[in-house]
């Protein structure tokens, strides 16, 4: 680290601010929030600083800087536009071992004033060590959106009952679970609803109730399609809460890196050719064993767990065995891949509906309503279909879908190596083989997919209509 992060108690302590302009006024405001005894020295001041002095909120010295101003001072803020003066003040502070911040001058400063997210008593400070304050400000703006303003009252309530919680909730793991309940459960909800008395009453009641031993929790969490930026806030919180994470094969390493450092990561993804039912049974038994051991278990699935992810089967299993569970939805592949390929799934002129279809074991199924899938004015999103493109295209055309229907095939959607192949349905199998598209790929079919040619904005695009060397439908098999 270039700087050592530190929070200072300045209440009642003397802090000198040199300068009387708008910058000095902003610094004075921060110091007053920390209840510092502010001494402001300057021959001229803004109206706001003058008003603070009249209200006896600051001590004003209407003069040019004198060395004696440093007597008894804990911290100095130099906020003048006179660099020689700032340097002189900095040298004197160095001699007296007084911390100083020279505004916009990291070289002369012995301390930095960070960008602040204030959720008192929670305070988040961001510093770039004076190298890039604008980036620190931008980061603060993002963190502001993540931190609900109820965080401060919640922290104050937890602090008020800290000793009682330590007494009634023994054990670090149980206490962590209690604090998670405090933030995510009815107490936190009451605080967000501006009902502090109700929140405190519920907390007191929870401390008096005997807490059952054991009883883990399974959280079924959608990891989204791959881009870690598409992870929901609730999913991120679940990853930081989990003791054990059972994750699918296609969950990206970038998302797994966001988990708690001491969480146990267990890969349980299914691979082509293996017995998927046996693997699913193993997942069920692992979830049950970990939950019965009292652990918080995250079942992390790519996309959304309730769309072609066997999420329903896992919830049914957990329900039968009396295991507590929660569901955190994720952005499913069809939504994300379409957005990153520049394809609107619906359009008032081209598609009034959208269907999500799994191509796995469906192309040869008698139960598939191919006539309905072949209808116009709809967008089709086929999951797990890259190995079935030959049969899929053939069935759609045979049931009335025009061979000229445009498609967009999205490989590794939302990831750095995303590719989008566009063309027509009749050419789909040959083009996919020619350009070596492999799983994970999602097929989008319908008139809206033609917009990918002009609206595409992310990753590489392959225009199949520019190819003349590919073979027609039926001539080239597609690899799984």
> For helices 196-208 and 172-184, what crossing angle results, to 10°?
150
User: Is the peptide bond prior to 440 cis by the omega test (within 30 degrees of 0)?
Assistant: yes
pLDDT for the residue numbered 143: 86
Q: Which of 78, 74, 46, 81 is nearest to 60 (CA)?
A: 46
pTM: 0.64
Residues in the chain: 480
Partner residues linked to 16 by β-bridges: 39, 76
Q: What is the pLDDT of residues 231-272, one digit of tens each?
A: 998 898 889 889 999 999 889 899 999 998 899 999 998 766
334-466: CATH class: alpha beta
Task: Find out whether 309 and 302 touch, Cβ atoms under 8 Å.
Answer: yes
The pair phi, psi for residue 255, each rounded to 5°, is: -75, -40
Q: How far is CA 249 from CA 119, 225, 265, 272, 328, in A?
A: 39, 12, 12, 11, 19
pLDDT in tens, the chain (480 residues): 678 888 999 999 999 999 999 999 999 999 999 999 999 999 999 999 999 999 999 999 999 999 999 999 999 999 999 999 999 999 999 999 999 999 989 899 999 988 888 888 999 999 888 888 889 889 988 888 778 788 999 999 999 999 999 988 887 878 888 888 888 777 887 898 789 999 999 999 988 875 544 457 899 999 999 999 999 988 988 898 899 999 998 898 999 999 988 999 999 987 666 677 778 999 999 999 999 988 889 999 999 999 998 999 999 999 999 998 889 999 999 999 999 999 999 999 999 999 999 976 555 556 789 999 999 999 999 998 788 899 999 999 999 999 999 999 999 999 999 999 999 999 999 999 999 999 999 999 999 999 999 999 999 999 876 664 544 554 434 443
**Other CB atoms within 10 Å distance of the CB of residue 297:** 28
Domain 217-331: CATH superfamily, name plus number = Tetrapyrrole methylase, N-terminal domain (3.40.1010.10)
The pair phi, psi for residue 441, each rounded to 5°, is: -135, 145
Q: Which of 147, 116, 291 is nearest to 217 (CA)?
A: 291
pLDDT for the residue numbered 130: 80
Three-state SS string across the chain, please? CCCCCCCCCCCCCEEEEECCCHHHHHHHHHHHHCCCEEEEECCCCCHHHHHHHHCCCCEEECCCCCHHHHCCCCEEEECCCCHHHHHHHHHHHHHHCCEEEECCCCCCCCCCCCEEEEECCEEEEECCCCCCHHHHHHHHHHHHHHCCCCHHHHHHHHHHCHHHHHHHCCCHHHHHHHHHHHHHCHHHHHHHCCCHHHHHHHHHHHHHCCCCCCCCEEEEEECECCCHHHCCHHHHHHHHHCCEEEECCCCCHHHHCCCCCCCEEEECCCCCCCCHHHHHHHHHHHHHHHHHCCCEEEEEECECCCCCCCHHHHHHHHHHCCCEEEEECCCCHHHHHHHHHCCCCCECCCECEEEEEECCCCCCCCCCCHHHHCCCCEEEEEECCHHHHHHHHHHHHHCCCCCCCEEEEEECCCCCCCEEEEEEHHHHHHHHHHCCCCCCEEEEECHHHHHHHHHCCCCEEEEHHHCCCCCCCCCCCCCC
pLDDT for the residue numbered 154: 95
Q: What angle do CA 224, 453, 348 make, to 5 degrees?
A: 75
Q: Diameter of the chain by CA atoms? A: 93
User: Is the peptide bond prior to 121 cis by the omega test (within 30 degrees of 0)?
Assistant: yes
**Which residues does the annotation mark as catalytic?**
248, 270
Residue 274 tokens, joined: 């293996």
14-113: CATH class: alpha beta
| Dihedral angle sign, alpha carbons of residues 367, 372, 374, 379 | negative
Dist. CA 450–CA 402, nearest whole Å: 14
Q: What is the pLDDT of residues 436-475, one digit of tens each?
A: 999 999 999 999 999 999 999 999 999 876 664 544 554 4
> For helices 196-208 and 151-160, what crossing angle results, to 10°?
40
Residue 229 has, within 13 A of its CA and on its CB side, a CA count of 6
Dist. CA 117–CA 110, nearest whole Å: 22
Dist. CA 111–CA 75, nearest whole Å: 9
The pair phi, psi for residue 302, each rounded to 5°, is: -65, 145
pLDDT for the residue numbered 361: 59
Q: Where are the domains of the chain?
A: 14-113, 151-207, 217-331, 334-466
Q: Is 14-113's fold the same as 334-466's?
A: no
Dist. CA 76–CA 39, nearest whole Å: 10
Residue 362 has, within 13 A of its CA and on its CB side, a CA count of 20
Residue 203 tokens, joined: 């907390």
């Amino acid at each position: 680290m270039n700087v050592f992060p530190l929070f200072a108690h300045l209440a009642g302590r003397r802090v000198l601010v040199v300068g009387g302009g708008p910058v000095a006024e902003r610094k004075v405001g921060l110091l007053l929030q920390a209840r510092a005894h502010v001494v402001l020295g300057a021959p001229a001041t803004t109206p706001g600083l003058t008003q603070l002095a009249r209200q006896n909120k600051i001590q004003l010295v209407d003069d040019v800087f004198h060395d004696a101003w440093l007597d008894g001072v804990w911290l100095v803020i130099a906020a003048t536009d006179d660099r020689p003066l700032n340097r002189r003040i900095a040298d004197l502070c160095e001699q007296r071992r007084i911390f100083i911040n020279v505004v916009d001058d990291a070289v002369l400063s012995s301390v930095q004033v960070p960008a602040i997210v204030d959720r008192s008593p929670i305070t988040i400070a961001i510093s770039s060590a004076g190298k890039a304050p604008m980036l620190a400000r931008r980061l603060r703006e993002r963190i502001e959106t993540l931190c609900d303003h109820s965080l401060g009252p919640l922290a104050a309530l937890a602090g008020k009952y800290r000793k009682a919680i330590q007494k009634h909730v023994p054990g670090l793991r149980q206490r962590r679970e209690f604090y998670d309940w405090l933030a995510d459960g009815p107490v936190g909800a009451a605080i967000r609803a501006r009902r502090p008395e109700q929140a405190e009453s519920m907390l007191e009641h929870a401390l008096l109730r005997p807490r059952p031993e054991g009883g883990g929790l399974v959280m079924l969490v959608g990891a989204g399609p791959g881009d870690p930026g598409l992870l929901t806030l609730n999913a991120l919180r679940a990853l930081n809460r989990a003791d054990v994470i059972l994750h699918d094969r296609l969950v990206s390493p970038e998302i797994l890196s966001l988990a708690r450092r001491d969480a146990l990561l267990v890969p349980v993804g299914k691979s082509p050719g293996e017995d998927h039912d046996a693997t699913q049974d193993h997942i069920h038994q692992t979830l049950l064993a970990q939950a019965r051991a009292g652990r918080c278990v995250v079942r992390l699935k790519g996309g959304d767990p309730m769309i072609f992810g066997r999420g329903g089967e896992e919830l049914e299993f957990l329900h039968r065995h009396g295991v507590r569970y929660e569901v955190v939805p994720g952005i499913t592949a069809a939504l994300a891949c379409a957005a990153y390929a520049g394809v609107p799934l619906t359009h008032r002129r081209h598609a009034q509906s959208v269907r999500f279809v799994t191509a796995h074991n469906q192309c040869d199924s008698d139960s598939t309503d191919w006539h309905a899938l072949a209808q116009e004015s709809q967008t089709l999103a086929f999951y797990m279909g890259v190995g079935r493109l030959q049969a899929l295209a053939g069935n759609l055309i045979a049931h009335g879908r025009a061979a000229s229907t445009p498609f967009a095939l999205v490989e590794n959607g939302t990831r750095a190596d995303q590719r989008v192949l566009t063309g027509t349905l009749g050419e789909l199998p040959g083009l996919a083989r020619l350009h070596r598209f492999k799983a994970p790929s999602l097929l989008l079919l319908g008139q809206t997919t033609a917009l990918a040619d002009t609206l595409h904005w992310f990753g590489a695009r392959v225009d199949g209509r520019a190819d003349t060397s590919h073979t027609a439908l039926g001539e080239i098999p597609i690899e799984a």
